[in-house]
Each structure stands twice: as structure tokens, then as C-alpha cells.
Structure 1
Amino acid sequence: MINYYCQPMYQPVYYGNLSFINHSPAYVATNHYKSNPSRQYPDVDSTLLEQSAKSMRNIMKEASIVLNKLADSKSFANKVMYAAQHSDMTEVERLIQSTGITSKVKTTFNPDGIMLKLSSSIENVECCHLTISLRWL
């Protein structure tokens, strides 16, 4: 009869009495997350955040349009995949734009699938983007 003894992957280390460490929620809230009183933060202006959220909402609607077209139209999906497999980037981009979306789209593909990055800008600065990765192999 063979007897196997399994040792733990790590050995606990005892550092003595650590009862002085207090990890209660009240301690953490009052001591670990206090702001640095010497650091001054600018006043909060959520305008850009709100604009980014509105732009993202639009991007998500347009992403749904593309996804619905790919999911519901076998001929459209075949055309996109065929163009990508033949490295016809112009045709892939034309097909994606033919869905009626207005967002800026950067398309990349490889033998495994396709990636669409929809983005939006506010005052010529990219404020938000959504990346969709779809597999076909």
C-alpha cells in the first residue's frame, strides 16, 4: 500500500500578536480613506462627464444597430466575413457604415474574428469608446 502525504502549497506565517490591527468598517472609513487635508482639489464640474455619458448612450444605440444587423441578416454577416477574410478593409468599413450608424468606427479583424471600436469626440477630444469583439472561428 502506498501512502501519500500532501503538503499545503504554503505555510502560514505567525507574526505574534496582531490584535492591535483594527479592520472594523468604522476604523477603515475614518482612517484609511481620509482625504489629505494639504491637497486641494478643484471644484467639481461634471459637464464633460455628462456629455461623455450622453455620447456613450448614442454609441451603445449604434452598436445595437450593427449587432442586430449581423445577428439578423445572414447575408450581411456573410458579406462582412468574406470581405474581412479577403483583407478588403474598405468593403468591411463600407458594410459597417451601411447600417446607418454615424459614430466613428475603427475595424480590425484576424482569422478568429472581428473587432469594432466605436468612438465619439467632444471638442476634438475622444470622450468615450465602446469595443465590440466578435468571434467567427
Structure 2
Amino acid sequence: MYYVHHPAYCPACYYNTYWPIRQYPPADPELFLQSANETKKLMNDANVILDKLAESKEFDLKIMEAAQASDQEEVERLIYSLDISSEVDITYNPDNLKLEFRSSVSEDDPACCRLLIALRWR
């Protein structure tokens, strides 16, 4: 570990104050690259859902009515009927719908990527 003198932190003890410099491993963009690619997949699935919500008042009404009736199975059925491949945590209340898309690049790191969409209807 390397030490560096930081007189600004202790002006009275100018010659006696040393603080360690944190050493980081060399940068490796591989996981970052994989995370970006996984997130693009999540965004594609999110776009499928958002396109349907933006073009179909009937579909919107079905989701809203199921959510207001606390029918979790129906809300999930409707969302997954849109042929998406991502895992989605679906939460709602009488005012809004939240979709959290999740993906991983390996079994060792099960939560590398998340995309959260929150939509209000009231």
C-alpha cells in the first residue's frame, strides 16, 4: 500500500500526517460489456410491453381492472402474454404499475442488471 502526505487534513501536524492511497485492480470491461448487452435485452422486452400499452386501450383497461381488483395472476398473465423472455417483478396498486426487469450474466452474479419502469394511471 502506498501512502501520501495530505497536509490539508491536519495543518498542525504537517510532517506527521500520512493517508493510504486505495489501490484498485486493473480495469477489466468484460463484465461491464456483458451487463450492457443484457440490459439491451431487458430494454427490448420493456419496449414490447410499452408498445402494447401505448397502442391498446383495451389491454390497458384489462391491466388496470385486474390491478384494482388485486388479481396478481391476471396482471402477470397479461404481461407475460406479450412474449417476453426477461424475468419481471410486477407490483401495482390502484394508482400505478411497476415493472422491474432483471437479468444476470452468470449464476455467480444473479443480479447484474435491472431496469425499472413505473407507470401511473391516476
Q: TM-score, normalised by structure 2?
A: 0.78
Quick one: which of 90, 111, 125 aligns to 2:94?
A: 111
Which residue matches 1:89? 72
Distance 2:65 2:94 in 1: 11
Aligned counterparts of 2:96 and 2:23: Cα–Cα separation in 1: 47
Q: Which amino acid aligns with 1:136?
A: W
Unaligned runs of 5+ in 1: 1-35
Partners of 1:83 and 1:106 lie apart in 2 by 16
2:103 aligns to what SS in structure 1? strand
Out of 43, 51, 55, the position equivalent to 2:38 is: 55
Work out which of the residue numbers 115, 118, 122 in structure 2 matches 1:130: 115
Which runs of no fewer than 5 residues in structure 2 stay unpaired?
Answer: 1-18
Which is richer in strand? Answer: 2
Which digits, 9 at most, give the CA deviation of each residue in 1:5-58, with x for residues without a partner?
Answer: xxxxxxxxxxxxxxxxxxxxxxxxxxxxxxx88432111111111000001111
Distance 2:66 2:94 in 1: 12
Counterpart Cα distance in 2 of 1:67 and 1:76: 11
- Give runs of aligned pairs for residues 1-137 of structure 1, distance below 5 A: 38-124=21-107, 125-137=110-122
Q: Write the deviation string for residues 50-105 of structure 1: whole angstroms up to 9, x where unpaired.
A: 00000111111111110010110111111111111111101111110111111010
d(CA) in 1 for partners of 2:37 and 2:102? 12
Count how many residue pairs are aligned between Structure 1 and Structure 2. Answer: 102
